[in-house]
Structure formats: structure tokens, C-alpha cells
Structure 1
Amino acid sequence: MRVLIVIISAVFSITLNAQRDWTGPTGNETLPNKLEGLERAIEVIHFPKQNDPIKIDNTYYWKHMTSILCKQSDITISEYGAYLFYDGKWNLRKSYPLKELDKTFGTKKQKMKQAEPYTWVKNWRVDNNLFGGWAMWYFIGKDSTGKTVCGYETINTTNNLLNK
């Protein structure tokens, strides 16, 4: 019985994913609720913005880096993560634990100093399957006056394998 339930769950999951609309964003989509109405004071930059994978052994790597910067004031980050775009909207992929920000971006106690760039050099997407998609990284924090601000930027990961 347990095996039958696992098989039915797997088929159901595959069917749901097959019916998803994986068409990319046009730029006119509504922002996620948690970003709506917030001043965009944190610059977020992905390099490269369109990211093509390479294959090493049996794994695909979309190698890119992500940088954040605030020109206006110091900012203390209170939340960050990524959305994936499908079915015509941004869907939360993951909010990351704040302690990881210090480790990956090099901040101290999640604080960004004014005009200081912070970079996650190996913000790589890794998968055993070759498929493209769109993500949007976001950051929310408080500036030196206590105002809640944000930053976000999209990145396109393609299925254009570089080393065929």
C-alpha cells in the first residue's frame, strides 16, 4: 500500500509540474506582496544576468555572482531570498536564514555599510537536470532612519549548454 501511495504521489507531482506555465516574465508582472510599496534602496546586481550552464561530470552548473550595495545609508538586512517565475507570477522559492548573509555576502551582523559592495562570488545554481528559468533575488532591511527598504533583481538561467 505504501508503494502505491508513493507512485500516485509521484505521478500527481509530475502532472502538476507539466501543466505549469514556464513562460518568462515580461517586466510588467506584479511584485510579490512583501516588496510592494517599499522604496528600492538596495542595488542588486547579477553577473552575468543571462546565465548559461556548463556540465561537469553529471551535474549542471549555472555559475554567477550576486552583489548588493546601498548608496543612501547603512542598512540592516532583515530578510532575503529568491522567487522563481512560473504560472505568470513570482513564487517564493526560499527565504534564507539571516546568518547565511554574513557567510555568503561578507556582511557583519547582516549590516550593509553605505557605499560598500558585498558580493556572493559563488551564488551558483546546481542541478542534475538541464532546464532554464527565471529567478528574482530580493533583500529587505531598515535604513539608518528605521525606514523599511528593499532591493531586487532578476536573473535568467538558460538551458544553452556551453560545453556540449
Structure 2
Amino acid sequence: MKTYLTICLLLATFTMCGQRDWTGPTGNESLPKKLKDIRNAIEVANFPKENDPIQIDDRYYWKHATSILCKESAITITEYGAYLFYDGKWNLRKSYPLKELDKTFGTKKQQLKQGEPYTWTDNWRTDSNLYAGWAMWYFIGKTATGETVCGYGTLHTTDNLLNH
């Protein structure tokens, strides 16, 4: 009976995952609720914007970098993370601990200085399966005057294997 229930649970899980719509964004989708009513004042750039994977041993790597910059004033980041696009909307993948921002982007005390770019050069996606997807990195912060601002940038990871 236990084996039967396990098989049924696995089949149900596969069926639910198989019904997900992985079609990419068109550009007309709503922003996630937490970004919707916040002014966009942080520039976010992913390079390359369309990212093809390479294979190393039994893993696939989508090697890209993410940069952030604020032109108008210094900003202290209060939250950052990534969304994935599926089922016709942006779905939160993960919000990262603030202490990681200093390590990965090279900031000090999560502070972005005005006009200074910060880059996470090894912001790589890795997986044992080869599949395409869409991500949006986001950043929320406060200006010196206390205004909450945000920034976001999209990235398309393809299933076009470069070294096959």
C-alpha cells in the first residue's frame, strides 16, 4: 500500500508540474505586487541578456553577470532577489539574505554609492537538466531622504547548448 501511495503521489506531482505554462513574458505582464507601486530608481543589467548554457561534466551552466547602479543618489538596499516567469506571471524564486549582497556585489553595509556600478560576476544558474527559462532580478532600497525605490532587470536563459 505504501508503494502504491508513493507512486500516486509522484504521478500527481509530475502531472501538476507538466501543466505549468513555461511560455516567456511578452513585456505586457504586470510587475510583482511588491514592485508595482515603487519608483524605479536602480538600474539593473544582466549580461548577457540572453544566456546560452555550456556543459561541464554532468552539469549545465548559464554563466552571466548582474550589475546594479543608482545615478541620482546613494541607496541602501533593504531587499533583493529573483523572480521566475511561468504560468503567465512573475513568481518569486528567492529573496536573498542582505548580508550576501556585500559579498556577491561588493557593497559595504548594503549601500550603493551614487554613480558607482556594483557587479556580481559569477551570478550563474546551474542545473543537471537542460531547459530554458526567464528570470527577473529585483532590488528594493531606501534613499537618504527615506523614499523606497526599486530596480529590476530580466534575463532569458536558453536551452541552446553552446559546447555540444
TM-score by length of 1: 0.97
Q: Within 5 Å, which residues of 2 pair with 1:69-108? A: 69-108=69-108
Match of 1:59 in 2: 59
Match of 1:46 in 2: 46
Question: Over aligned residues, Cα RMSD in angstroms?
Answer: 1.0
Match of 2:34 in 1: 34
In the alignment, the residues of structure 1 paired with residue 100 and residue 32 of structure 2 have an alpha-carbon distance, to the nearest angstrom, of: 22
In the alignment, the residues of structure 2 paired with residue 93 and residue 65 of structure 1 have an alpha-carbon distance, to the nearest angstrom, of: 18
**Offset, 1:6:** 3.7
Counterpart residue type for residue 94 of structure 2: K
Match of 2:19 in 1: 19
Secondary structure at 1:7 match in 2: helix
**Offset, 1:11:** 1.9
Counterpart residue type for residue 103 of structure 1: K
Gaps of 5+ in 2: none
Counterpart residue type for residue 134 of structure 2: W
Q: How many residues get paired?
A: 164
**Offset, 1:10:** 2.3
2:148 is the alignment partner of 1:148: yes
Secondary structure at 1:67 match in 2: strand
Cα offsets for 1:61-99 (capped at 9, x unmatched): 000000000001110001000000000000000000111
Gaps of 5+ in 1: none
In the alignment, the residues of structure 1 paired with residue 106 and residue 7 of structure 2 have an alpha-carbon distance, to the nearest angstrom, of: 44
Q: How many percent identity over aligned positions?
A: 70
**Offset, 1:2:** 4.8
